[in-house]
Amino acid sequence: MANTFYGKKPEVFLVREKMLQTGVDMFLDIHGDEAIPYNFAAGSEGIPSYDERHAGLENAFKQALLTITPEFQDDYGYDKDEPGKANLTVGSNWVAEQFNCLSYTIEMPFKDNNNYPDPLYGWSPERSIKFGHDMVAATLAVTDKL
């Protein structure tokens, strides 16, 4: 990625430099999606180096989350990139390609999770915290594969 991409984002540039120095085994970029009312993961299927190892790590992580929490699902989300067509300026794609590691963008709903709705509170800070704990448990479930 060109340094011009980071021209106005020194914190991103510095984190990227540290990642290049130390390496990366796993990367999760956590976001909220305003349009899709589900928790889901966007993988790196379209990166040039995507292979069976990447697919296995992604599947193991997703299966762990599916087992751990009803908040996660794998039916709704973003379209998968075609092989070799990933946008490598997307952080999780760049990291997966650069470090040959498990790299996901995790999206959470802004209002509520349609598969597990809470009519009183919707998607709340407390649910985000619980989902964060579930992400740590899923990470621990795949650590030996990294």
Catalytic residues: 107
- Residue 89 gets the label, from left (phi > 0), alpha (psi -120 to 50) or beta, of alpha
Q: What does the H/E/C string look like for the chain?
A: CCHHHHCCCHHHHHHHHHHHHHCCCEEEEEEEECCCCCEEEECCCCCCCCCHHHHHHHHHHHHHHHHHCCCECCCCCCCCCCCCCCCCCCHHHHHHHHHCCEEEEEEEECCCCCCCCCCCCCCCHHHHHHHHHHHHHHHHHHHHHC
